[in-house]
Amino acid sequence: MTRVLLTGGSGFIAVHVLEALLTQGHSVVTSVRSEAKAQMLRDTFPNIGKDQLDFVYVADIAQEGAFDEAVKSDPPFEWVIHTASPFHFNITDPQKDLLDPAIIGTTGILKAIKKNAPTVKRVVVTSSFAAIFSPKTGNRPDHTYSENDWNPITLEEAIQDPSSGYRASKTFAEKAAWDFVEKERPNFQIATVWCPQKSNPGRTHRGLQMNPPMVFGPIHPKLQTLDTINTSNQRIRDMMLGKMQDEIPQSGVHVWVDVRDLALAHVRAAERREAAGKRFFVTAGYFSNRELADHIHELLPEVKIAAKGGEFPAEYFKYDNSRTRDILGINFRSLKNMVKDTIPTLQALGA
């Protein structure tokens, strides 16, 4: 049994990571913002005792020193999986409201681990597809996105508007994590999963980062309402509620992953020695809103969904997820199976 600190445990991705860790018998302490969030998780996993699931309260991860006490544990932690990200309300200043909190939220926990948790051997950080997608390259069919890509956005571009600020915040936060390990040389290395590189075999702490695209999949009803489900699943909800009877909109991003596969990728990134010091692009492949609609209509023929719109574009970028398949051993679920498993969880909330 490995002792694990999981940050942001009530989040959509994090609760699936938590479920995967508990299923494998690990002992988890997860950070939450409030006792109410902790109780929701206790209710979600009612048969799990305090020895396997406990909580630490971190109200604002963007505050300096927010994790200084959270990383202390008896027995001590061996892994840290960092999925938490700052809340963003009423963005008026991209630097203050987006960039600074994202960077502090990521580097803050790395500083705390280095200072107060010398037993930690692995750190896995959740990043975003925004950290690799380049608006300048865009959807060019001659480009293959992989762990080698970085969003080239500059600080000058980042502060122009909230949308640019958001994309930059994900990019700068991940780069800050890699820079921290390079300069501070702590007991650990990092790795990132974006829904997904370097390695430093001379150090004992292994870090990883994940960067996801669109993240679909079953929800835990005790933690969500139809109004608070994650953005990706909202389009499934809206189709089920008959809100796309006239025309189906374009998908925007056309790569996706099932949240359960993404969660397993986080756990395997912590477990597997060869995953140390690497980025992982975690995607199952392509999808379109049209495909989603067709699968939903097949399972729920009474639901009225438009017969037009939402098709896959004529040209689109390529992707390379071979590192995730080869090193983490992820066998991705199909879009149809994801829809089949997600529909009942949304129905439980009234969809």
Q: What is the DSSP letter of 99?
A: I
Mean pLDDT of 59-77: 95
Q: What is the per-residue pLDDT for 164?
A: 87
Q: Which residues pair with 46 in a beta bridge?
A: none
Q: How far apart are CA 321 and CA 145, in angstroms?
A: 9
Q: How far apart are CA 91 and CA 258, in angstroms?
A: 30
pLDDT class of 194 with cuts at 50, 70, 90: confident
Of the ranges 39-43, 57-61, 198-202, which one carries the lowest mean pLDDT score? 198-202
Q: How many beta carbons lie within 10 A of that of residue 197, not counting itself?
A: 14
Q: Which residues pair with 144 in a beta bridge?
A: 318
Q: What is the per-residue pLDDT for 163?
A: 83
List b or e across 204-228, with b for residues whose CB sees 16 or more CB atoms inside 10 angstroms: ebbbbbbbbbbbbbbbbebbbebee
DSSP string for residues in 100-114: HHHHHHHHHHHHHHH
Compute φ and ψ for 33, nearest 5 degrees: -85, -20
- Residue 206 scores a pLDDT above 80: no
Q: What is the per-residue pLDDT for 195?
A: 67
Q: What is the per-residue pLDDT for 89?
A: 60
Q: How many beta carbons lie within 10 A of that of residue 293, not counting itself?
A: 22
What are 234-289's pLDDT values in tens digits?
Answer: 999 999 999 999 999 998 889 999 999 999 999 999 999 999 999 999 999 999 99
From residue 82, give the alpha-carbon distance in Å to each of 4, 76, 245, 292.
Answer: 10, 17, 39, 30
Name 261's Cβ contacts closer than 8 Å, sequence gap at least 6: 282, 284, 330, 332, 333
Residue 207 or residue 106, greater confidence: 106
pLDDT class of 136 with cuts at 50, 70, 90: confident
Q: Is 133 exposed, middle or buried (0-12, 13-18, 19+ CB in 10 A)?
A: buried
Mean pLDDT of 318-325: 96
Average pLDDT, the chain: 91
What are 83-128's pLDDT values in tens digits?
Answer: 998 766 678 898 988 899 899 999 999 999 999 999 999 999 999 8
Q: How far apart are CA 56 and CA 71, in angstroms?
A: 9
Residue 67 or residue 211, greater confidence: 67
Q: What is the per-residue pLDDT for 205?
A: 40
Q: What is the per-residue pLDDT for 90?
A: 72
Angle at the Cα of 19 from the Cα atoms of 275 and 171, rounded to 5 degrees:
50
- Residue 200 scores a pLDDT above 70: no
For 349, half-sphere exposure in the C-beta direction (CA atoms, 13 angstrom radius) is 23
